[in-house]
Amino acid sequence: MLDSKKLKLHTLCENSVDGSGVCAEWGYSILIETGDKTILLDTGTTGAAAENAVRMGIDLKTVDMIVLSHGHYDHTGGLPDVLKQIGKETPIIAHPDMFGLKYGMNKKTGKKRYAGMPYRKEMIESLGGRFEFTTKPFWISDDIATSGEEECTTTYETVSSTLTIKTENGYEQDTMTDDLTLFLRTDLGLVVLTGCAHRGIINILRHGIKQMETENLYMVAGGTHLVGADDEGVSKTIEDLRELNPEWIGVSHCTGFPAAARIFNAFPDNFFVNGAGTVITFPVEK
């Protein structure tokens, strides 16, 4: 198991900031230091992640690999700036569907706008990115792995109907098979780091517990995509979170204020907002 005392998380990009002098943007990026490896999960929308790394005194040249949680622009758009700072060939772990033609739909107007990867694969490779596509879990070490395709087991979590993908047959529902999560098995328990959790946060937590063969859930941090969930969906999520009993819940990005407030009210002693500039060391102090 990972030595939690060597584990450190730095949130480089998020919609909000913790007051530490970094900038915010719609997007998400978190740097994971394990003592042996440095992993970057997602890269935000533009250059905020790379800029905030400098402001936080982080040298991105230490990054060993990048994991992309899915193909939306707000998690992949910062790749060029990040790769320029890394300055070397860097593995990028991702699902092969992440380059799909992803579109978001406005519920009121029905209009669609492109929401996928902003760059061609060849452009990212010209900057040193080396894609490693897989539908299966990618084991970075014995205790660190991506989720691979996440199993959907709840009855109430569904991918948002506003997310579509353009195919030869027109626009179809995007089932977000490319959604990935990073799992870290530590001596304190399982740490789960999400991007947007498009496949459902409870589905993902159950998937991680099964894959990593541990029922001790220490932390879940990242996006939960409850921003569009109805009251019943949020209530059931909270009910299942109580059963899973994480010691810490750090919400980010696409959680949405109403859902975040309800989670805080349900877990006032275990909750934090994981904004840009947040640095987490272990064990986390209450």
| Tens digits of residue pLDDT in 253-280 | 999 999 999 999 999 999 999 999 999 9
Band of residue 225 on the pLDDT scale cut at 50, 70, 90? very high
- pLDDT the model gives residue 169: 92
CATH: 2.40.30.10, 3.60.15.10, 3.30.750.24, 3.90.740.10. Which one for 4-134+157-278?
A: 3.60.15.10
* Closest by Cα among 99, 92, 47 to 68: 92
Rounded Cα distance between 169 and 284, Å, is 49
Q: Which of 283, 285, 242 is nearest to 266 (CA)?
A: 242
Strands of 271-273's sheet, edge to edge?
139-141, 144-146, 182-186, 189-193, 217-223, 248-252, 271-273
Residue 41's CB is within 10 A of a number of other CB atoms, namely 27
Q: What is the pLDDT of residue 115?
A: 98
Cα separation, 188 vs 83, in Å, equals 32
Buried (b) or exposed (e) across 153-173, using 16+ Cβ within 10 A? ebeebbbbebbbbbeeeeeee
- What pTM was estimated for this model as a whole? 0.97
pLDDT (tens digit per residue) in 118-174:
999 999 999 999 999 999 999 999 999 999 999 999 999 999 999 999 999 999 999
Give the dihedral sign, CA 168/173/175/181. Answer: positive
Rounded alpha-carbon distances, angstroms, from residue 250 to 167, 176, 218, 272: 36, 23, 11, 5
Residue ranges of domains in the chain: 4-134+157-278
For the residues 82-96, what does the mean pLDDT come to?
98
Cβ–Cβ < 8 Å for 219, 248 = yes
